[in-house]
Chains A and B, each alone.
Chain A
Amino acid sequence: MREQSINIVDKQLHTTALIINNELSKYSENNDIKLDETLNNITDKYWLKIYDSNKNIIYESKTANSINIPLKENKNKYTVNIKNTSVSKLKNEDIDEVIPFRVLTLNNKDKIIQIAQSIIEIDEEISNLLAAIGTGLGISSIFLIVLSYILANKIIQPIANINKLTHEITAATLNKRIVLPKNKDEIYELSKYLNEMFDRLQFAFQRQQRLIADTSHELKTPLTILRIFFEELSENKEVSTELKEKIQKQWKNIIRLNKLIKNLLELSALEAQISSEMKLLNLSELIQNIIDDLIPMIEEEHITIEYDMSKSIMLQGNKEQLRRLFINLIDNAIKYNINNGKIIITAFEFKNNVHVSIQNTGKEIPQDEIAKIFDQFYRVEKSRSTKYGGAGLGLTIAREIVRLHNGRISIQSKDGFTTVNLELPVNDSHKA
């Protein structure tokens, strides 16, 4: 940038030198012309010295008087720095420092024209320009960053909304839909097609749920018939005691079927629910009542149960569902316990959440199976479930109930203990 400016200065100097040269040649032809006057007109702006072939000064401008710029033989364009206080005359400024001058020499037969101009203004202008460009760039880039951030947010917001909603949609909230944007752009299309996909998913899901529920209902009647038939056989005097015992053993299968149907119906009813009716209830009492009901089972298996009832814990919940939840969990803690084992139940309230942990001694659940334990029909130990006739739906039902209560459930198994941790909000803050 500086070079370009200096080139321009050089061209101006060169042109002026040519004009002076021209004037000089006129002067040599005609001595009447007053050289000084002519040159003074030109050299208002410039520093000028004219030498003859012997380097004697034949003319010098006003400024050339006070500022001494050396003549360089081998160069005809150069820059010199002059330290002079009287430059102010030329510059109309108070300058006490080094001033750069651009010098041009023109050799013409018998004369040398040395012409110069201060280029301090160019330097100042360049630095000013650079500063201006810098500030401008700074401001405009900040502006651009802010603008692009706002714009990007505006563009991304609908996508973020879609993202959030698709993440939120679970089996139980399949009725939720993306709010369609006003502009019929790509986002609108995407939202529309996603919504259509959710429609199809919901339909398929509901149909599957209905199928399970309907099938279960339909199975109940034939099961009743079978049951009554078996029971009447047990009463029939023509049937031998031996056969009656065999019949009794086959009961187990009817009972399993019966329980499976009940659990399936319960699960599909829970899954179809978005929220449940909540009332303030005493959780400590609820758990104590379940333990009382299970005492014969606990005693028979020689299990000691530790439960601190000193403080009563109240929370908003669905009593029937919470009863089912704790029955399932305590029942598991008994069934999957060891002989002379232990069950430790602790419950406390912390930061508007009720934390319940049900711990039991027992065979550890392998780490990789813990994640699957809430899945339908998943069983870690096949043998146990055959003994107790479990349907493998207990924990799935438990998880659904916890979901409806806006809580959390997790299982840990280590050091010979299996622990179910529950977190239930004290107040029902669910927005359905």
Chain B
Amino acid sequence: MRILIVDDEQSIREQLEDLLKKQKYLVDTVSDGEQAIRRILEQPYDLIVLDIMLPKINGLEVLREIRSEKIDTPILMLTAKGALNDKVKGLDAGADDYLPKPFSTAEFMARLRALLRRSSHVGNAVLKLKNISLNTMTREITINGNPTSLTPKEFAILEFLMYNKNRSVSRFTLAEHIWGDEFDPFTMSNYIDVHIKNLRRKIGDPNGELLQTLRGIGYILKED
């Protein structure tokens, strides 16, 4: 799977490239809008990570340009602007998702994987991990084939951890993901444990062998 990263900040390009390469993705990077359009027109991608603030041609214009060329590659927009207005503009211009900076790698990976699954290139809405099967579209979950009911927050935690399987996820990142930035994620991270405890019970993992606690760090969902 090939992913294009468009960001004018060298460090971000390198970090995201490293991150994705470790997950066995093929990655190309460019630093401005002009190069981005040229690359996208000559090379098909499975996903494009596009920063809004770009030199020469900005992200929104790149987006409009490639959509007018009938290229429907899923696009994850990145922006330093947090205002709702930018989000609306981005989505209107044809972005598939929108991630405000600063974001966590876990959040980035979850959004990226969700986009890849939703797009025609992969097209599988069901995430599987050992005996757990989670449908991201119907929001249903089965354990050993038996339907189980989870609260929306428990579902969101499990889905997020499944997108980030085998990677440690901090309490703060989880809190940020499930409560959004309306609540103070720093405060809310103190209350994640309650949800984790209930979730473990419901997925038949009361001792935390599958959903492990990393003391002082966070949680990890281990497949192996």
Interface residues of A (CB under 8 A from B): 217-218, 220-221, 223-229, 231-232, 234-235, 244-245, 248-249, 251-252, 255-256, 258-259, 262, 265, 269, 293-294, 296-297, 299-300, 320, 323-324, 327, 331, 335, 388-390
Contacts and interface: CB of A to CB of B under 8 A. Distances in A.
Given A234-B217, A245-B216, A258-B102, A221 B80 contact: yes
A93 B173 CA distance: 116
Contacts of B82: 220, 262, 265
B115 interface: no
B121 interface: no
B103 interface: yes
A297 B190 CA distance: 8
9 contacts: A224-B101, A234-B170, A248-B170, A248-B218, A251-B172, A255-B186, A297-B187, A331-B183, A389-B186
Contacts of B88: none
Contact of A297 (B18, B188, B215): B188
A349 B106 CA distance: 45
Contact of A296 (B181, B194, B217): B194
Contacts of A388: 184, 186-187
B9 interface: yes
A345 to B, nearest CB: 17
Please give me the 5 A-B residue pairs with the lowest Cβ-Cβ distance, nearest first.
A245-B216, A224-B102, A296-B191, A389-B186, A220-B80
Given A300-B191, A320-B84, 8 more contacts: A220-B82, A228-B19, A248-B170, A248-B216, A251-B172, A265-B83, A269-B83, A297-B190
Contacts of B183: 293-294, 327, 331
A291 to B, nearest CB: 12
A389 to B, nearest CB: 4
Contacts of B9: 221, 225
Given A225-B12, A258-B102, A300-B191, A324 B182 contact: yes
A220 B80 CA distance: 6
A150 to B, nearest CB: 52
